[in-house]
Structure 1
Amino acid sequence: MDRFNKILLHHNFKEYLRRIATLEETRVFCKHEMTHFLDVARICYILNLENKANLDKEIIYACSILHDIGRWKEYQEGIDHAIASKGLALDILKDCGFDQREIKLICDAIGHHRTESNHPSNLSEFIYRADKLSRPCNSCNSIDKCNRFENGEIPTINY
């Protein structure tokens, strides 16, 4: 997991996390921080094992910690954070030693992590599902104000 650890230390990654934290300081909803990223990674890895997909653990973890790094661009510039995150992840992945095939797999999954269907890979589908499963919506104090659920029903966990 050497390349994963390089991401954690990458100056751009740390700067993007700082920007997100500043912009979400007063946010009452789920925040986009390392706890969320690692929850997504762990759930995604479990989905990988359960489905016998044989995805590399380091690829899963890299994708998971980068999938929301464009949140600050969504807040400041109105750019969909999946698209922004995909673009921001590209240089970080290159700098940390991922090859072109791995970068394409990871960036495609990041770009589709908000899409419910038509995933280009198992990684994309697993990141989407893990992102949803990682949130403790049933115990959230702000669920009545959250726009994640259009029909107003309290969500259930569906694996």
Structure 2
Amino acid sequence: MDRVNKIISHELYKSYLGKIAKWEEYRSFCKHDLIHFLDVCRISWILVLEENLSLNKEVVYGAGLLHDIGRWAEYESGADHAVESALMCSEILEDCGYDAEEIDMIKDAIAAHRLKDEKKCPLGSVLSRADNLSRMCYDCGEIGECKKFQNGEKPYLLY
């Protein structure tokens, strides 16, 4: 997990997290912070193991840590954060020792993590599901205002 730890301590990564934190300072809904990113990583890895997918743990964690780093750009300009995150992740991944094939796999997964197309991008599908499963909706004071529960759905804990 050396490369994963390098991501967490990477200055550009930390600057992106800082930008997101500023935009979300007064956000009442779920935040996009390191806690969320690590929850996505861990649940993604559980899904990979449960489904016997052939994915490298550092690749899964790299994708989980970086999947929403473009969130600040969405707040700033309205750009799709999945697309922005896929564009922003390359330099960090290169600096942290990921090879070109791994970087492409992570970029594709990040760009697809909102599309839920399992056949086209298995890692993107895992990320998408983990992203949704990682939220602690069952303990949220804003659930009545949340777009995920507009039709009376109830939160259900899986992981």
TM-score (norm 1): 0.93
- Aligned: 1:61 with 2:61: yes
CA contact (8 A) 2:114 2:128 kept: yes
Letter of the structure 1 residue corresponding to residue 28 of structure 2: V
- The answer for the alignment partner of 2:123 in structure 1 is 123
Letter of the structure 2 residue corresponding to residue 7 of structure 1: I
Structure 1: gaps spanning 5 or more residues: none
Q: State the distance in 2 between where 1:149 and 1:113 align.
A: 20
Letter of the structure 2 residue corresponding to residue 124 of structure 1: G
Q: State the distance in 2 between where 1:118 and 1:71 align.
A: 23
Q: State the distance in 1 between where 2:60 and 2:31 align.
A: 21
3-state DSSP of counterpart to 2:45:
helix
Q: Percent identity?
A: 50
- Aligned: 1:43 with 2:49: no
3-state DSSP of counterpart to 2:147:
coil
* 1:43-99 deviation line (CA, Å, top 9, x unaligned): 110111111113111111111010010010000111111011111111111121111
Q: State the distance in 2 between where 1:87 and 1:149 align.
A: 31
Letter of the structure 1 residue corresponding to residue 72 of structure 2: W
Letter of the structure 2 residue corresponding to residue 146 of structure 1: C
- Aligned: 1:100 with 2:90: no
Give the stretch that moved more between structures: 51-60 or 147-156.
147-156
- The answer for the alignment partner of 1:84 in structure 2 is 84
Letter of the structure 2 residue corresponding to residue 54 of structure 1: S
Q: 1:156 to 1:20 in 2, by over 3 A?
A: same
Counterparts of 1:133-152 in structure 2, within 5 Å, are 133-152=133-152
- The answer for the alignment partner of 1:70 in structure 2 is 70
Structure 2: gaps spanning 5 or more residues: none
Figure out how many residues of one structure are paired with residues of the other and give that number. 159
1:151: how far off?
3.0
Root mean square deviation of aligned Cα = 1.6
Q: State the distance in 2 between where 1:119 and 1:29 align.
A: 31
Q: State the distance in 1 between where 2:93 and 2:58 align.
A: 12
Give the stretch that moved more between structures: 32-41 or 119-128.
119-128
TM-score (norm 2): 0.93
